[in-house]
Amino acid sequence: MPSAPFYTPGRYWGRVTDHGLAKTKTGKPQIVIRFVVMGAVNPLDPLGNILPVAQSYERSVYRVITANTEEWVLQDLEKLGFTGDRMSQLDLTNGDACDLRGKELAFSCKHEADLNNVLRERWSIANDKVPLSAKPLDPKELRQLDAMFGRSLKSAKKAAPATPTSPPSLPFPTPTAEPDPVYPDPNAQATREEIPF
């Protein structure tokens, strides 16, 4: 029987222990990064000290290489500190390999069901920032939007109720005059008349 995931979903700090290129079960090329979990990233202080974990296990990241994943692959390689100019340099058996072992970076853990509906850990290189690929509006376009929505936004702001300074008082139920029946014998049962519904 497979065991449940060890690590909870979240961000962890890890050290790369091995890497290379391999094929998926369907024959597609993929990058495999093996790393050891060193600790959890503190969500309240992500740049501070890492939080201890119960056990530091080795985990793997698999990134399939296709035309559709090219951008993600390049982002992962950048985060790993890959300085090579050919993908073959990820293979440590290559004579001019770019050795990434010992690099430390943030990894992300998610839980996903596999094909047998068994919950598994799924690891990836943590995505710190997703660059905004949209073109920003120029000042003229911003003024046009202000003119278009200005009246509506101003009237909505005036119509909005004032923020209360204290929480609203809620009516609380008045206690009944009769206390609940007490049954000294733990095996005693309430009679039909004593049941309130």
pLDDT at 135: 65
| Angle at 71 (CA atoms; ends 66, 77), nearest 5 degrees | 95
The percentage of residues in the chain with a pLDDT greater than 70, rounded to a whole number, is 69
pLDDT tens, residue by residue, 88-137: 999 998 888 899 999 999 999 999 998 888 899 999 999 865 444 456 77
More confident residue, 158 or 90: 90
- Amino acid 186: pLDDT: 46
* Structural domains in the chain (count): 1
Q: Higher-confidence residue: 112 or 2?
A: 112
* Residue 116 domain-assigned (yes or no): yes
Closest by CA to 40, choosing from 31, 30, 50, 48, is 50
- Answer positive or negative: Cα dihedral of 116, 119, 121, 124: positive
Q: How confident is the model at residue 150 (pLDDT cuts 50, 70, 90)?
A: low
| Integer Cα distance of 100 and 94 in angstroms | 13
Predicted confidence at residue 109, as pLDDT, reads: 95
Q: What is the mean pLDDT of residues 169-197?
A: 46
- pLDDT beyond 90 at 45: no
Evaluate whether residue 155 is within a structural domain: no
Q: Angle at the Cα of 97 (from 93 to 101), degrees rounded to 5?
A: 90
Do residues 33 and 61 lie in contact, with contact meaning Cβ atoms separated by under 8 Å? yes
Q: Is 68 among the domain residues?
A: yes
Strand partners, 12: 40, 107
Residue 140 in domain = no
Residue range of the domain that includes 96:
10-125
Angle at 130 (CA atoms; ends 124, 134), nearest 5 degrees: 145
Alpha helices in the chain (DSSP H): 70-80, 139-159
Residue 1 has pLDDT above 80, yes or no: no
The answer as to whether 3 is a domain residue is no
Residue 54 lies in a domain: yes
| Helix, strand, coil percentages in the chain from 3-state DSSP, rounded to 5 | 20, 25, 55
Tracing tokens 């501070």 back to the chain, one arrives at 48
Q: What's the whole-number average pLDDT of the chain?
A: 78
**Banded pLDDT at 143 (limits 50, 70, 90):** confident
pLDDT for res 27:
92
Please indicate, yes or no, whether the overall pTM of this predicted structure exceeds 0.75: no
User: Tell me, what CATH number does 120's domain have?
Assistant: 2.40.50
